[in-house]
């Protein structure tokens, strides 16, 4: 499902989540999820066709933050970037979208340019200096928009869980967006520390080794494939790739 | 005749849920199994606050 991978990469730090639903058995779905190294959500629900009145069409939906259907169809490729932008605006606004007091203009400009951290810092400074309630209200408004981005990034960092490589990547993305604010510096430091850790090095090395082996598995004798996978599993028993290698190795047992 | 048509429509309406369309509430469901979902998410409503793209898969 290359189109899903592309969507996930494009919008994953914008409070967007992809959930593929299958009514099949987990022993059929699991190898697929693992072999294709799928990063987005995959769930099983046996009654999905009945509950969603599935008759072939539509078989895909976009659901808004309150749980209402925004779009129903089959070919997500037909949804334009502008439509996605309008939907994502609800969760992670890209623009301030209204007039603000002159004290908040620099913050609004930074926000519109995607410099969320800079916008946060400028809005905080303007709020601290403000004596006028209208200026304070505009500062609150911009800080509210910034908060939505913070929540989306924090969600991505949390979702990475014990996968140190995914977590470092999420921290880097978050730090870049929040550059210029305290939070951006905090995330940047966390990413640096994490990358120095043994946990990260093992996670990264095991993922690389598994990728190399994965590409050759089909041409290998089953016994050799098993040995190569077991070697990775033994070397890195605690990393996600190490655990995955152990699972994959089972498929090549005689 | 009108009554007959109405009856037929009602019968159809009861035979299966109609397909989910724009503006409908997406029916909640509990995940029987999950991979790569949000931490702690056990059902669709745990995704409130996000824009969710749901797609039905048939692998085999």
Query: pLDDT tens digits, residue range A102-156?
Result: 999 999 999 999 999 999 999 999 999 999 999 999 999 999 999 999 999 998 8
Residue B5 lies inside a defined structural domain of this protein: no
Residue of B nearest to A56 (CA): B19
> What band does B10 get if pLDDT is binned at 50, 70 and 90?
very low
**Residue A252: per-residue pLDDT:** 85
- On average, the pLDDT of chain A sits at 91
**Residue A253: per-residue pLDDT:** 79
Residue A208 lies inside a defined structural domain of this protein: yes
Q: Which residue has the higher pLDDT, A236 or A73?
A: A236
Section A188-212 average pLDDT: 95
Q: Which domain holds residue B56?
A: 27-33+40-60
Residue A168 lies inside a defined structural domain of this protein: yes
**Residue A183: per-residue pLDDT:** 97
Which positions in chain A touch B45 (Cβ < 8 Å)? 67
ipTM of this predicted structure: 0.74
Residue B53 lies inside a defined structural domain of this protein: yes
Using alpha carbons, select from B50, B7, B47, B49 the residue that is nearest to residue B29.
B47
Nearest-Å Rg of the Cα atoms of chain A is 22
Residues B30, A45 contacting (CB under 8 angstroms): yes
Q: Tally the domains of chain B.
A: 1
> What band does A57 get if pLDDT is binned at 50, 70 and 90?
low
Residue A153 lies inside a defined structural domain of this protein: yes
Residue B15 lies inside a defined structural domain of this protein: no
Residue A107 lies inside a defined structural domain of this protein: yes
Residue A97 lies inside a defined structural domain of this protein: no
Q: Which domain holds residue A204?
A: 199-251
Residue B49 lies inside a defined structural domain of this protein: yes
Residue A94 lies inside a defined structural domain of this protein: no
Residue B50 lies inside a defined structural domain of this protein: yes
Q: Count of alpha carbons within 13 Å of A65, Cβ hemisphere only?
A: 14
For residue A61, is pLDDT > 80?
A: yes
**Residue A234: per-residue pLDDT:** 96
Residue A80 lies inside a defined structural domain of this protein: yes
For residue B57, is pLDDT > 90?
A: no
DSSP B8-45: HHHHHHHHSPPPP-TTSBPPP-B-SEEES--TT--BGG
Residues A40, A20 contacting (CB under 8 angstroms): yes
Say which of B22, B23, B56 has its CB closest to residue A21.
B56
Same-domain status, A139 and A66? no
**Residue B4: per-residue pLDDT:** 47
Residue B3 lies inside a defined structural domain of this protein: no
Section A36-45 average pLDDT: 91
Q: Which of A47-56, A82-91, A121-130, A200-209 has the lowest mean pLDDT?
A: A47-56
Residue of A nearest to B50 (CA): A65
Residue B14 lies inside a defined structural domain of this protein: no
Same-domain status, A12 and A84? yes
- CATH code for position A41: 3.40.30.10
Among residues A20, A54, A88, the one where a domain terminates is A88
Residue A18 lies inside a defined structural domain of this protein: yes
**Cα–chain-centroid distance for residue A92?**
13
Residues A249, A233 contacting (CB under 8 angstroms): yes
**Cα dihedral sign for A101, A104, A106, A109?**
negative
The top-scoring range by mean pLDDT among A55-59, A86-90, B27-31 is: B27-31
Q: Tally the domains of chain A.
A: 3
Residues A44, B32 contacting (CB under 8 angstroms): yes
Q: Give the residue numbers in B contacting A (CB under 8 Å), as ranges.
A: 16-39, 41, 44-45, 47-60
Question: B51 and A51: CB-CB below 8 Å?
Answer: no
Residue of B nearest to A162 (CA): B39
**Residue A173: per-residue pLDDT:** 93
Residue B16 lies inside a defined structural domain of this protein: no
Question: A67 and B44: CB-CB below 8 Å?
Answer: yes
Which positions in chain B touch A16 (Cβ < 8 Å)? 50-53
**Residue A55: per-residue pLDDT:** 73
Same-domain status, A106 and A192? yes
What DSSP state is assigned to residue A72? E
Question: B19 and A53: CB-CB below 8 Å?
Answer: yes
């Amino acid at each position: 499902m290359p189109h899903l991978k592309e969507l996930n990469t494009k919008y994953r730090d914008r409070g967007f989540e992809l959930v593929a639903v299958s009514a099949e058995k987990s022993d059929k779905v699991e190898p697929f999820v693992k072999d294709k190294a799928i990063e987005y959500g995959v769930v099983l629900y046996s009654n999905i066709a009945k509950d969603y009145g599935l008759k072939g069409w539509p078989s895909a939906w976009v659901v808004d933050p309150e749980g209402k259907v925004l779009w129903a169809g089959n070919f997500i490729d037909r949804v334009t970037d502008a439509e996605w932008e309008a939907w994502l605006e609800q969760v992670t606004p890209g623009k301030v979208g209204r007039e603000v007091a002159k004290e908040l203009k620099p913050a609004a400009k930074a926000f519109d340019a995607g410099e969320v951290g800079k916008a946060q810092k400028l809005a905080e400074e303007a709020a601290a200096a403000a004596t006028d309630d209208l200026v304070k209200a505009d500062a609150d408004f911009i800080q509210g928009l910034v908060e939505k981005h913070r929540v989306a990034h924090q969600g991505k960092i949390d979702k990475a869980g014990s996968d140190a490589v995914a977590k470092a990547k999420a921290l880097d993305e978050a730090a870049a967006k929040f550059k210029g604010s305290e939070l951006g510096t905090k995330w940047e430091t966390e990413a640096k520390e994490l990358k120095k850790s043994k946990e990260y090095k093992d996670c990264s090395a095991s993922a690389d080794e598994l990728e190399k082996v994965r590409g050759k598995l089909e041409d290998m004798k089953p016994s050799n494939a098993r040995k190569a996978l077991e070697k990775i599993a033994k070397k890195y028993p605690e990393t996600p790739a190490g655990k995955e290698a152990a699972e994959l190795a089972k498929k090549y047992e005689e | 005749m009108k009554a007959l048509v109405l009856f037929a429509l009602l019968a159809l309406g009861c035979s299966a849920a109609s397909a989910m369309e724009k503006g409908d509430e997406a029916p909640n469901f509990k995940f029987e199994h999950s991979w790569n979902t949000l931490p702690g998410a056990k059902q669709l409503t745990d995704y409130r606050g996000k824009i969710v793209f749901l797609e039905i898969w048939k692998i085999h």
